[in-house]
Amino acid sequence: MHEMAFAEQVLESIQQEVSAYPGCTVTRVRLRAGERLALEPASLRFCLEAISAGTCMEGAAVEMEETGPELDCPRCGRVTVASALDTVCPKCGQGCRPTMGTELIIEEIELNDQED
């Protein structure tokens, strides 16, 4: 289950960002994950819940959007493909380099001030 490694990285990044806001806790996190990572949203949420106990992220809702793969075609430019396994341009048949679909981005961190 590679989701645990990603969960650890997400938690570490969020803790680093939230440290600038003493007394705040995370209520919601919105992630964008590339399809090529093959992350299972439920597994990633489970891992984050398991490792966030006692941290600023304990009990936070985790939303995850999956983004489709894109290729950089030397002839056609950037093209969207149907599958993360595709490496050939669907327009011209040229071999391509993947440009999207391997990222995991923290899009939004919603905080709640504990002093309220």
In the chain, pLDDT over 70 holds for what percent of residues?
A: 97
pLDDT of residue 72 exceeding 60, the answer is: yes
Report field, pTM of the whole predicted structure over 0.85: no
Amino acid at residue number 28: R
**Topology (CATH level 3) of domain 3-113:** hypothetical protein PF0899 fold (3.30.2320)
- CA separation (Å) from 102 to 14, 62, 83, 106? 20, 19, 13, 14
pLDDT of residue 28 exceeding 80, the answer is: yes
Residue 114: predicted pLDDT: 65
Where do the structural domains in the chain lie, given as residue ranges?
Answer: 3-113
Higher pLDDT, 16 or 90: 16
pLDDT of residue 84 exceeding 80, the answer is: no
Cα separation, 70 vs 52, in Å, equals 33
